[in-house]
Structure 1
Amino acid sequence: MKILNKYSLIIAATAALTTVTGCKKMLVEQPRSGLYPDYFTTAGGVQAAVTGVYQDLRGSGVGGFSGEGIVYAYDGTDENIPGGSAGTNPAIYGSYKGITSSNGPDITGLYVDINTLNGVFQNASLITDPTARTQFVAQAKFLRGFIYFWLVQMYGGVTATQKSGIPLHLTFNTQATSADEPAKLTDIYKTIIQDFTDAAAGLPNTITSSNPFSAAGIGKSATVATAKAYLAKAYLTRGYTEAKEATDFQQAADITASIITNKGTYGLDLWQDYYDAHKPANDYGKENMFAIDYGISDPLYSNYTQQSSGGFGINQLFVLARFNYVGPGVDNVAGIDAVPQKMGGSAGMVRDVYNGRPYIRLAPNKPYTMDVAFADQIHDTRYDATFQTFWICTNPNVTAGLKSDRVTSKGKLVATTSSIPPAGGALSAAPGQAASIVPMDGDTAILMPSADVTMARRDGFKGLIVTPKQFNSTIFPTVKKFDDPKRAGILDFSSRPIVMMRFSEVYLMNAEANYMLGNAANAAASLNVLRQRAAYRNTDDAALTAKNQFYVTAATMATANATNAAAMLLTPAQTALLAIPNNTTTTTTLCGMDLILEEYTRELYGDPRRWFDLVRTQQLVRRNQMYNTISGPNVQAYHARWPIPQTLINAVLSGPAYPQNNGY
């Protein structure tokens, strides 16, 4: 297939000879194919090839996680709806109306990466240092497995009922070709499983300073545990498909149990406090297993250069699910709880570094995310740790709002003094000042409580109260887990890594595999570990929690945590659900998979993953129909595979035409 291979001769050479900025056009403007035969003859050349693939994962396409393309992993699910500024394609994929082979992501770059990795395998014997050879090949094996696993979950492979899927390329191509064909799903999964198995045999247990794919011991490239976790996930995913083997779920259960048992060997564990799992200081800590890095500038590990245009880093994840806090005013209007968002007055907020740049590409789907998954916001800390629900006034010039009688003044909001905005401007960091300053004083300009309030409460509150019945695609609690305190400018993106595998997911996979095996007790035990961890609060977290929400003080902390931990244990009714087999059709009754998927939401909401979770568990249609009024009426079983991109189909110019996936 010509388009998939015409750049493969030059990717590695330019990665070795130039500073890669992440723009693929820069990689193809000056072909250096004449240098390619010498490229893989040294350890440095092979390392540069692997580094180049890691670099490509930061791109903005399907295989990259920096751009807005990752909304495809969120839209069309029970968790999310397209945000008010989502644009055209997210709305299409969020509603399952109008999806075609031409409006999806382009995957050709991933096949360039696969060919580069195949070059590593073909030329590995040229590396004379056996230790280096083992490390480089193991990283390459992991990355090829990772890419193929990502692709097969989206597009599938040929089965008895499916006529198309992704192609499988396992040899190094040095000549362009215009022919290709989809591979059997069984063959694709065998490759993925073998790659992850081989990777686990050669990777290090932990990231150390001697690891060539870390920045002096910093970073989260693949380790033994990472490869094993993805191996377990591959078995788990295959177990639901036409390619399944009888031992798939047992393999997933056994591998995840082994990782948990040997967590000390791999430097893994859960933080006591769920808040800590998402703090920037812990990005490379014990709970994060594999990450796409953006903040490390190291030519051997990441080959990453900080982006000067539009931000400190290039990770855009943190801006996608932020509502525009500048727009709402502070007046009260009679009947505000009875109508969709109806607000007036002058805004209590100006845009500032701390509260960030609102893209409004994604919004929580309230009927499920708020009303079901995060319904318990007292015993469970994960709502408060995930969502920002209050905004401290940053506008010193806001006029006083009016009470519901439209005459009486509510009083002027007092702005924070943590950072002072320039005249007529927005807050940003002063020279030598910490970039993103937490506002610790001032009045609350916007509050989003978890329940309705009375008009008397609104009249007694100088800012604006937005209750859950007013949440929509434009106004909603902001996902705050990915905020970057190092950002120095309002338009900056993030330099934090995007975590692709967390240790908590190992427990969730273990619960899911045991559930599918009929081992309800084992499934419950793994879920309870996460649920009891989620009950823990400390006094530091109280500063980040809206005062209308539940929080602890030094005097109440011990008792509250003990009470909440007991309350978070699965009830007999919940445990009984785990004995009900996976129900993929009936929308009026619940099963154990509903319980598990709710736990996935609470633990991992905001990570680019939900569409894959629903597809894997065969719940895409049912749970969209249960909870999402936008996607539910249109979603069909064939939507569990995206259409083969037209760029791939057009590239096949000889032999049989490349077939499209069913339904498109």
Structure 2
Amino acid sequence: MKIFNKSSFMIAAAAVLSLTTGCKKLLEENPRAALYPDYFSTAAGVQAAVVGIYNDLRGSFSGEGLVFYYDGTDENIPGGSAGTVAPLFNSFRGITSSNGPDITGLYVDINTLNGVFKFASAITDPTARTQYVAQAKFLRGFLYFYLVQTYGGLTATQKSGIPLHTTFLTTAITSDAPAPLTDIYNLIIQDFTDAAANLPNTITNTNPFSAGGVGKSATAATAKAYLAKAYLTRAYTEAKQSTDFQQAADITASLIASKGTYGLDLWQDYWDEHKPANDYGKENMFAIDYGGISDPNYTGYTLQGSGGYGLNQLYVLARQNYVGPGVDNVTGIDAVPQVYSTAKPGMLRDVYNGRPYVRLAPNKPYTMDVAFADQIHDTRYDATFQTFWICNKTTAAGTQSNGALKGALIPTSNVSLSSFNVPVDGDTAILMPSTDVTMARRDAFKGLIITPRQFNALNFPTVKKFDDPLRTGTGDFSSRPIIMMRFSEVYLMNAEANYMLGNVSNAVTSLNVLRQRAAYRTTTDAALTAKNQFYVTSATMADANATNAAAMLLTPTQVALLSIPNNTTDKNTRCGMDLILEEYSRELYGDPRRWYDLVRTQQLVRRNQMYNPNGGANVQAYHARWPIPQGLINNVLSGPAYPQNNGYN
């Protein structure tokens, strides 16, 4: 999905709403651009409005604020450089209306879209009018779906939630109130339904919201996938309707059966899904674009430092600081937590290994010990995590545990501080094997070994699937898109919906498609897999893939688990939802989503109690909604005060 520069397309007549960030003075500001309501009556005006909204999505999914998707879940813990706010989410202590996520600024975009609906009937070209309004429908549904999942809506038991605005405002409002959850979901479902009926099946080179046919603006399949997800999500709430799970199952089944119509499919090799060359390929259905493709209309991106608008920081968040550890085997090298020297580091920061923010780390007791426990038959661990670092600087020989010298590390010959060079040679400076090792193994190894029992907030396998080879500086962020909907999620949603309906065989079929795909390995993948882990050669590839594919089929015990209904309270008894959520982890680990998955399936409390020692004792049901932001509350200046969500001050 390619998007125009942010500064070009702020709609002047879209009033600065009372619930946007900023407080009272915003109500007195002058219009910030030269686009007025009558511009919505032209195709160019509607196009400007729609691409402006796509552009704004950059800001909502950029920066370190993304950590609220991950902390307070079973998958992640705050990294060693997480700061002070992320641990609050992980521990479920100290979360307030002032430090929670604030995405209510999206109501300015919603108002712009409401302007499209009000004036677009004046567009004389019926084809343009239909396509542009369909994009606007999808975007409004997407924004409200995002907002309602984060903050909720008014119900019999919930006293607050988000407001619902469906008319175009040209003057600022000073009063507001939460809308019924039922009304919010009805609008979301209707918007996605309307969008699915009128969006194109595929993106072509004539698409006005794409750069030469490349990008991931919404298609009919995108709208249908989100429609299925909206039904699936509503089905667990107080606004549920009896047909919701069936609707989700039917829509996802139809998408799978008609995948050719929409240009969708799974890659044979799971690794291929995350290769930059395939960012706009058949498995990625919807993306927030950051200007990776050079086009003067759609970029506004500066790589170095903190320049540019809406930089993609996803690749840096879960990246350990590989520069610090030295290679000496000091006293405590085998302890937990590990003690190591910083005197002889084998690494310097280069472009290939990237910028370590250390804001997130895998929650080892769940992520490594449960979700990715099988690293032989299932290739998704090796495809997701970087587990070795090739020496890239001259380093003095390290010492063994008895004080004798190890062999000196040989650095790679193609290290670069200005381009993304995959190491072609050199010794391994840091290795994270899948099992514990003996001291003899440590002494024989030139670099540093960090074993699974030593993984913590500082030392951990790095998420590598978001790495950006277009970076040219050691401080760069990423220009790759953030993928919001993958075709693999359609299979997962189908399995989840069928599980909740009691259709075990259908759930098994969808899960087995993904599990068997995950067994496939190639020799190209092996070049990026640590040699102590499972990998294939040209001689072993065919037999290994056949053996692993058979092993990845759900066992009778696992199938039986899918017959056990969703257990949302007892942390000591497993159910089929555990199996499904573990598959979500393996397939989509690192994507900005896990808190939402746990909230949707009513597993936030239970699975934090199962796997989060810092938050399990504190998490409560009300944490399934983040607090209404203080800015929204403060900006309601007339009428009843805006209420806070249950449980928060």
Q: Could you say whether these structures have the same fold, taking a TM-score greater than 0.5 normalized by the shorter chain as the test?
A: yes
Q: What is the rounded CA distance, in whole Å, between the counterparts of 1:212 and 1:644 in structure 2?
A: 36
Cα distance, 1:94 vs structure 2 = 1.3
1:428 counterpart = 2:426: no
Q: What is the rounded CA distance, in whole Å, between the counterparts of 2:355 and 2:299 in structure 1?
A: 27
Within-5 A mapping of 1:124-523:
124-294=120-290, 295-298=292-295, 302=298, 304-306=300-302, 309-310=305-306, 314-344=311-341, 345-396=343-394, 398-406=395-403, 408-419=404-415, 427-429=416-418, 435-523=419-507
User: Is contact 2:215–2:280 with CA below 8 Å preserved after alignment?
Assistant: yes
Whichever residue aligns with residue 647 of structure 2, its letter is G
3-state SS of paired residue (1:402): coil
Cα 1:441/1:299, change in 2 over 3 Å? closer
User: Is contact 1:487–1:494 with CA below 8 Å preserved after alignment?
Assistant: yes
Whichever residue aligns with residue 316 of structure 2, its letter is V
Cα distance, 1:38 vs structure 2 = 3.0
Cα distance, 1:267 vs structure 2 = 0.2
| Aligned partner of 2:72 among 47, 62, 76 | 76
User: Is contact 1:221–1:290 with CA below 8 Å preserved after alignment?
Assistant: yes
3-state SS of paired residue (1:500): strand
Once the two structures are superposed, what CA deviation does each residue of 1:166-185 show, in whole Å capped at 9, x if it has no partner?
A: 00000000011101000000
Q: What is the rounded CA distance, in whole Å, between the counterparts of 2:307 and 2:451 in structure 1?
A: 33
Query: Higher mean Cα deviation, 265-274 or 99-108?
Result: 99-108
Q: What is the rounded CA distance, in whole Å, between the counterparts of 1:659 and 1:485 in structure 2?
A: 47
3-state SS of paired residue (2:483): strand
Query: Higher mean Cα deviation, 645-654 or 101-110?
Result: 101-110
Cα distance, 1:87 vs structure 2 = 1.1
User: Is contact 1:280–1:496 with CA below 8 Å preserved after alignment?
Assistant: yes
Within-5 A mapping of 1:563-582:
563-582=547-566
Cα distance, 1:65 vs structure 2 = 1.1
Cα distance, 1:308 vs structure 2 = 5.5
Once the two structures are superposed, what CA deviation does each residue of 1:375-411 show, in whole Å capped at 9, x if it has no partner?
A: 0000000000000000000111x111000102x1002
Q: What is the rounded CA distance, in whole Å, between the counterparts of 1:100 and 1:230 in structure 2?
A: 30
Q: What is the rounded CA distance, in whole Å, between the counterparts of 1:218 and 1:107 in structure 2?
A: 28
| 2:10 paired residue number | 11
Within-5 A mapping of 1:80-91:
80-91=76-87
| 2:588 paired residue number | 604
Structure 2 unmatched ranges of 5 or more: 1-6, 15-21
Cα distance, 1:40 vs structure 2 = 1.1
Whichever residue aligns with residue 476 of structure 2, its letter is D
**Number of residues paired by the alignment?**
630
Q: What is the rounded CA distance, in whole Å, between the counterparts of 1:152 and 1:378 in structure 2?
A: 40
Q: What is the rounded CA distance, in whole Å, between the counterparts of 1:621 and 1:446 in structure 2?
A: 36
| 2:48 paired residue number | 48
| 1:58 paired residue number | 58
User: Percent of counterpart pairs with the same letter?
Assistant: 78
| 1:630 paired residue number | 614
Cα 1:297/1:651, change in 2 over 3 Å? farther
Once the two structures are superposed, what CA deviation does each residue of 1:159-215 show, in whole Å capped at 9, x if it has no partner?
A: 110010000000000011101000000000000000000000111000101111110
1:115 counterpart = 2:104: no
User: Is contact 1:515–1:592 with CA below 8 Å preserved after alignment?
Assistant: yes
Whichever residue aligns with residue 333 of structure 1, its letter is V
Cα 1:160/1:456, change in 2 over 3 Å? same
| 1:31 paired residue number | 31
Cα 1:82/1:379, change in 2 over 3 Å? same
Cα distance, 1:333 vs structure 2 = 3.0
Q: What is the rounded CA distance, in whole Å, between the counterparts of 1:597 and 1:13 in structure 2?
A: 44
User: Is contact 1:209–1:216 with CA below 8 Å preserved after alignment?
Assistant: yes
User: Is contact 2:245–2:500 with CA below 8 Å preserved after alignment?
Assistant: yes
Cα distance, 1:314 vs structure 2 = 1.8
Cα distance, 1:661 vs structure 2 = 0.5
User: Is contact 1:298–1:304 with CA below 8 Å preserved after alignment?
Assistant: no
Q: What is the rounded CA distance, in whole Å, between the counterparts of 2:405 and 2:199 in structure 1?
A: 65
Runs of 4+, deviation exceeding 6 Å: none
Q: What is the rounded CA distance, in whole Å, between the counterparts of 2:575 and 2:421 in structure 1?
A: 45
Once the two structures are superposed, what CA deviation does each residue of 1:105-157 show, in whole Å capped at 9, x if it has no partner?
A: 22232000000000000011111101111111011100000010001001100
Q: What is the rounded CA distance, in whole Å, between the counterparts of 2:430 and 2:295 in structure 1?
A: 41
3-state SS of paired residue (1:499): strand
3-state SS of paired residue (1:78): coil
| Aligned partner of 2:541 among 557, 579, 598 | 557
| Aligned partner of 1:544 among 522, 528, 547 | 528
Q: TM-score, normalised by structure 1?
A: 0.92
User: Is contact 1:178–1:652 with CA below 8 Å preserved after alignment?
Assistant: yes
Once the two structures are superposed, what CA deviation does each residue of 1:74-121 show, in whole Å capped at 9, x if it has no partner?
A: 110000001111111111111110001111122232000000000000
Whichever residue aligns with residue 265 of structure 1, its letter is T
Query: Higher mean Cα deviation, 625-634 or 353-362?
Result: 625-634
| 2:17 paired residue number | none
Cα 1:311/1:418, change in 2 over 3 Å? farther
Q: What is the rounded CA distance, in whole Å, between the counterparts of 1:608 and 1:107 in structure 2?
A: 15
3-state SS of paired residue (1:257): helix
User: Is contact 1:167–1:182 with CA below 8 Å preserved after alignment?
Assistant: yes
User: Is contact 1:337–1:452 with CA below 8 Å preserved after alignment?
Assistant: no
Cα 1:181/1:542, change in 2 over 3 Å? same
| 1:3 paired residue number | none
User: Is contact 2:301–2:307 with CA below 8 Å preserved after alignment?
Assistant: no
| 1:432 paired residue number | none
